[in-house]
Amino acid sequence: DIQMTQSPSSLSASVGDRVAITCRASQMISDYLNWYQQKPGKAPNLLIHGASNLQSGVPSRFSGSGSGTDFTLTISSLQPEDFATYYCQQGYSTPRTFGQGTNVEIK
Amino acid sequence: EVQLVESGGGWVQPGRALRLSCAASGFSFGDFAMHWVRQSPGKGLEWVSGISWNSDDIGYADSVKGRFTISRDNAKNSLYLQMNSLRAEDTAFYYCARDIASWYFDNRGYFGDWGQGTLVTVSS
Beta bridge partners of A90: A33, A97
Beta bridge partners of B58: B51
Q: How far apart are CA B6 and CA B1, in angstroms?
A: 16
Reported confidence tier of residue B27, pLDDT bands at 50, 70, 90: very high
B33-61 residue pLDDT tens: 999 999 999 899 999 999 999 999 999 99
Q: Interface of chain A against chain B, CB under 8 Å? A: 1, 30, 32, 34, 36, 38, 42-46, 49-50, 55, 87, 89, 91-101
Provide the residue-wise pLDDT of chain A in tens; the chain has 107 residues: 999 999 999 999 999 999 999 999 999 999 999 999 999 999 999 999 999 999 999 999 999 999 999 999 999 999 999 999 999 999 999 999 999 999 999 88
Q: How far apart are CA A38 and CA B42, in angstroms?
A: 12
Reported confidence tier of residue B89, pLDDT bands at 50, 70, 90: very high
Give start and end residues of each alpha helix (H) in chain A: none
Q: Any chain A CB within 8 A of the CB of B119?
A: no
